[in-house]
């Protein structure tokens, strides 16, 4: 059996004594004590070189410090970290390398050790992510294929006034278009800032959000709200995450953490001062702060405006000739087969259409989006998930909508 850990020095001295007596072959001595010939030669050579003291275990610490950072480089890293306390090692190195490409900067792990030694970093607890497959959300491969919008979550500024910022980002480039404090979380307050973003940057193909108001409704047909209907008229897909799954909007949530650390903690004295801080931070986030997911580039270096320009005037939609067009009245009803059918008040004033499917039931559509199914036999409405159809407008035929009952 191998040497006993409780008497290592004694076992090694017995081994050395047996070797010096030369009464047995070297391999026999090693086998009797349960060690390999390689281990036996190691301890014999140590004893011959330095005597019995050499049989004690040596320190396993590194004999050289190849990872040591030059004092001047360490000072620059520490100074930048103190200026940007939320930046990690990779981001610090990326920013310094942009400014000084001629310097041989250390590895990120070495910088991490440096920050911990100086009390500027601590180990973050590992976050467990929920299991389960993700829904078919729009995953961008280029700017403007998918944006995200959300509220950061309210807090009170120094004078006690509530502040709740609306944020809008491009999911491919991480470019932050909007970071604006909202007096209320309503469509009337959110829509003007989306218009501002659309005028400045063009239209995205999808706009990701959670299922809260004013982005979506848990009780409305297909989750529609006035805001999401307006997006549909612009042909912007309302890309909703699953309830209780903020990880499906992880890029945006990560930006919110940085926003809190850099611009909210602690809050400004007033909402006006807080908004000024948001504006400064947004510029820094887009043009100064490197992002690891972008190859340590800044969002402004990756983002490009959308080729889909925002139009101030929404064009009327023309349904195909086999669709029955209906105008939704102010209470959210349409009249079909002399009976009122409730859709949602969010569609008030809009024109929807019914089209018979192959199984005989009727699909209720708003522009090129399916909202529900109506039974051909009973006329009962069966809501369905919002979906884009293959239908396209046919300009040669214009159908006048019937008045709603």
Q: 171 with 140: CB under 8 angstroms?
A: yes
Looking at residue 271, its pLDDT comes to: 95
Exposed / middle / buried, residue 353 (Cβ in 10 Å: 0-12, 13-18, 19+) = buried
Looking at residue 65, its pLDDT comes to: 53
* pLDDT at residue 130 tops 50: no
Residue of 32 and 127 predicted with greater confidence = 32
Q: Which of 364, 373, 199, 178 is nearest to 259 (CA)?
A: 178
CA distance 194 to 198: 6
Question: Which of helix, strand or coil describes residue 166?
Answer: strand
Q: 175 with 282: CB under 8 angstroms?
A: no
Q: Is the dihedral of CA 176, 293, 152, 310 positive or negative?
A: positive
pLDDT band of 30, cuts 50, 70, 90? confident
pLDDT tens across 185-211, in order?
899 999 999 999 999 999 999 999 988
Average pLDDT score over residue span 157-178: 96
Q: 196 with 312: CB under 8 angstroms?
A: no
Tokens of 174: 């991480």
Q: Which of 316, 185, 192, 168 is nearest to 252 (CA)?
A: 168
Q: Which of 372, 352, 350 is nearest to 362 (CA)?
A: 372
Tokens of 65: 């410090």
CA distance 78 to 384: 56
Q: 206 with 145: CB under 8 angstroms?
A: yes
In order, the DSSP letters of 209-235 are: E-SSTTT--SSSGGG--HHHHHHHHTT
pLDDT tens across 59-99, in order?
655 555 545 788 888 889 999 999 988 888 888 989 998 88
Question: Bridge partners of 238?
Answer: 207
List for the chain the helix, strand, coil content (%; round to 5): 35, 20, 45
pLDDT tens across 345-381, in order?
999 999 999 988 888 889 899 998 888 888 887 778 8
Q: Which helix (H) or strand (E) element contains residue 151?
A: strand 147-151
Delimit the domains of the chain by residue range.
Answer: 5-55, 71-117, 147-205+247-302, 324-388
Q: 12 with 41: CB under 8 angstroms?
A: no
Q: 191 with 328: CB under 8 angstroms?
A: no
Alpha-carbon distances, residue 13 vs 3, 33, 53, 112, 214 (angstroms): 11, 11, 11, 44, 81
Tell me the HSE value of 396 on the side-chain side, using a 13 A CA sphere.
1
Question: Which of helix, strand or coil describes residue 75?
Answer: helix
């Amino acid at each position: 059996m191998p040497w006993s850990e409780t008497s290592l020095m004694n076992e090694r001295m017995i081994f050395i004594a047996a070797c010096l007596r030369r009464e047995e072959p070297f391999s026999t001595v090693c086998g009797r004590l349960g060690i390999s010939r390689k281990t036996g030669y190691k301890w014999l050579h140590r004893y011959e070189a330095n005597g019995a003291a050499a049989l004690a275990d040596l320190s396993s610490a590194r004999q050289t410090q190849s990872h040591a950072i030059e004092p001047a480089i360490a000072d620059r890293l520490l100074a930048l970290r103190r200026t940007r306390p939320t930046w990690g090692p990779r981001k610090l190195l990326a920013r310094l390398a942009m400014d000084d490409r001629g310097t041989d900067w250390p590895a990120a792990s070495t910088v991490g050790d440096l920050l911990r030694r100086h009390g500027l970093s601590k180990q973050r607890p590992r976050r467990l992510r929920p299991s389960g497959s993700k829904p078919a959300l729009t995953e961008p491969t280029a700017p403007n294929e998918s944006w995200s919008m959300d509220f950061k979550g309210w807090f009170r500024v120094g004078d006690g006034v509530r502040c709740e910022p609306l944020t809008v980002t491009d999911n491919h480039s991480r470019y932050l278009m909007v970071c604006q404090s909202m007096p209320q979380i309503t469509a009337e307050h959110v829509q003007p800032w989306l218009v501002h973003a659309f005028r400045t940057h063009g239209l995205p193909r999808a706009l990701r959000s959670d299922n809260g108001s004013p982005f979506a409704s848990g009780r409305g047909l297909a989750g529609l709200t006035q805001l999401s209907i307006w997006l549909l008229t612009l042909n912007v897909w309302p890309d909703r995450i699953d309830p209780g799954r903020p990880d499906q909007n992880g890029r945006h949530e990560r930006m919110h953490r940085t926003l809190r650390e850099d611009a909210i903690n602690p809050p400004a004295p007033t909402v006006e001062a807080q908004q000024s801080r948001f504006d400064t931070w947004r510029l820094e986030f887009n043009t100064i702060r490197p992002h690891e997911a972008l190859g340590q580039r800044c969002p402004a270096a990756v983002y490009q405006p959308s080729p889909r320009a925002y139009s101030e005037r929404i064009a009327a939609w023309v349904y195909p000739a086999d669709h029955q067009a209906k105008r939704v009245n102010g209470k959210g009803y349409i009249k079909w087969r002399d009976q009122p059918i409730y859709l949602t008040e969010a569609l008030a004033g809009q024109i929807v259409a019914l089209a018979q499917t192959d199984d005989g039931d009727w699909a209720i559509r708003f522009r090129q989006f399916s909202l529900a199914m109506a039974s051909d036999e009973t006329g009962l409405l069966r809501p369905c998930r919002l979906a884009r159809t293959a239908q396209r407008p046919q300009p040669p035929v214009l159908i006048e909508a019937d008045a709603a009952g």
